[in-house]
Amino acid sequence: MPHAPALLVIDMQNTLVAIAHRAFETVATIAGLRERARAAGVPIVTIQHRGEGLEAGTEGWRIVPELVPAADEEVVHKTSADSFLDTGLDETLTALGVTEVVVTGFATEICVDTTARQALSHRYDLVLVADGHTTSVRPDAGEYAAPDRSIAHHNEIYRHIDFPGRSIRVLPASEVDFAVLP
- Cα–Cα distance for residue pair 59/154, rounded to 1 Å: 30
Catalytic residue list contains 111:
yes
Residues 134 and 22 sit within 8 Å (Cβ to Cβ):
yes
Residues 27 and 73 sit within 8 Å (Cβ to Cβ):
no
- The single-letter code of the amino acid at 50 is R
Catalytic one of 47, 54, 111, 119: 111
HSE, CB side, 13 Å, CA atoms: give it for residue 161.
21
Q: Which of 39, 33, 42, 10 is nearest to 173 (CA)?
A: 33
In sequence order, the 6+-apart residues with CB closer than 8 A to the CB of 4 are 96, 97, 98, 99, 100
Residues 11 and 106 sit within 8 Å (Cβ to Cβ):
yes
Which residues are identified as catalytic?
111
